[in-house]
Structures are given as C-alpha cells and as structure tokens.
Amino acid sequence: MRGIVAFYLTYLLCLILGITCVALVAHWNYSYRGGFAWDGSVKQFNWHPVFMVTGMLVLYGNAAVVYRIPLTWGHNKLPWKLLHAGLLLLSFILSVLGLCAVFDYHNANHTANLYSLHSWVGICTTALFTAQWVMGFTAFLLPCTPMTARGLVKPAHVWMGGIILVLSIVSCISGINEKLFFALKGNTNGTLPYAALPPEAITANSLGVIIVAFGLVVLKILSNQIWQRPEEASYEVGIYQPLGYDGS
C-alpha cells in the first residue's frame, strides 16, 4: 500500500502547487500590474502570463498525469482519453488567447514581436504542443487508426509530452524574469529597481520557484514506473491490483 499512498500524496502536492501557480500569477498581475482589460493597453498584456501559466503549464501538467491516477485503472480507458484530450484542448485554447493578448498589445503599441529568447522558446513550445495534440488526436482517438500505428506513435508521444512540459517551464520562468527587468526599472518609471527586491519581485520570483516545483512533481509522477498505467492485457480478474504492493 505504500505505493498508492505515496502516489496520492504526490498528486495532492501537484494539485496544491498548480492552484498556487494560478493564484500567484493572477495576484501578481492584478495587484502589482494594474489588473486586466482587452483594450490594447498594458492591462491586456497582463492576460498573457495568466493564460500561459494556467494553460501551458498547470492544465497541461494535470492532463499529463491523468492516466497515472490508480482509480482510473481497470476501467474503460476511453473516458480518460477524452478527459486527457479535453484538458489539453482547453490548455491549447488558453495558450492561443495568451498569444493573442501579447501580439495584439505589441501591435497596438508598435512593439516588435518575437525578438527575445523567451518569445522564441515560447512560440516553439506552442508549435510543438499543437503538433503533439494533433498527432495524439489522430493516433489515439480516431477509431480508424490501426493499433500498430498507435504502438509506434506512443513512445514518441510520451517523450514529447515531457519535453513540452520542460519547455513550458523554461518559457514561464524566462518570461517572468523578462517582465521584471522591463517593469522594475527604478527611478525611470517610479518603481523600486529589481535589484532592491521589492514586494513585486518577491511575488514573481516565488511564482517562478513554485512553477519549477510543480514541473518537477509532474515529472516525478510521469517517470515513476510503479505509477504507470498497466497495459490493458493486465486487467484480468484476480491478477491485477493497482499499486497494491510495496515499491520505492
């Protein structure tokens, strides 16, 4: 039973960290950056970090670990496939809204697009995620897809899922740092300099640390062999017990 208890404790930590990420990024942009709007002002830009952290990180990470939940084992896999795909679709929609927010803000204020390392990594991550979702939908949800094709695609699908999560973490923390450098300039815009570590910097830096912690917990869940969903052939009566054994 240690294996199942350890999983649920780790999964609870994953949920807490994910909720904290969303709450912190919303608090940062509402309390320190002036709130939200969709009018081409900086308040429109504030939607960008909220949508990207919520979509590309938190929803994406939770979608990735759906199959690891022991209560889903031994049951029809289709509802969990649909939940997995649905969470990823919602993640994609929020990511598109986040990109629209920043591109529209840049265009309204005659600011260049896609010039920073953060933007390069972020747009590549979104492109990979889009390709991954289309590949996953085609391979695993279309009834006409042969089982042999699914078997060939699955290892790449799983590997690419982890890579996209890592890239999402890199995009988020680089974006936080970039925003702080632009926003906290000291006397030039009436704020305390970033080097003085004002409350806003502490809040945003804490968000970055929690984002990394969330990603590490998700990767731990995905990499632990005893928490992987067994193959369908294992669900024979009297043979399979989900995590009903001791494991490290």
Q: In sequence order, what are the residues at sequence separation of 6 or more whose Cβ sits closer than 8 angstroms to the Cβ of residue 56? A: 91, 94, 95, 98, 125, 126, 129, 168, 171, 172
2 pLDDT band, cuts 50/70/90, is: low
Q: Show me where the domains of the chain are located.
A: 2-234
How many Cβ atoms sit within 10 Å of the Cβ of residue 94? 21
Name the 3-class secondary structure at 241. coil
Average pLDDT over residues 90-118: 97
How many Cβ atoms sit within 10 Å of the Cβ of residue 53? 29
Average pLDDT over residues 154-183: 96
CATH class of 2-234: mainly alpha
Radius of gyration (C-alpha) of the chain in whole angstroms: 20
Q: In sequence order, what are the residues at sequence separation of 6 or more whose Cβ sits closer than 8 angstroms to the Cβ of residue 25? A: 49, 50, 53, 54, 207
Q: In sequence order, what are the residues at sequence separation of 6 or more whose Cβ sits closer than 8 angstroms to the Cβ of residue 79? A: none
Q: What is the pLDDT of residue 1?
A: 63
> For residue 140, is pLDDT > 80?
yes
Two tokens, residue 246: 């001791």
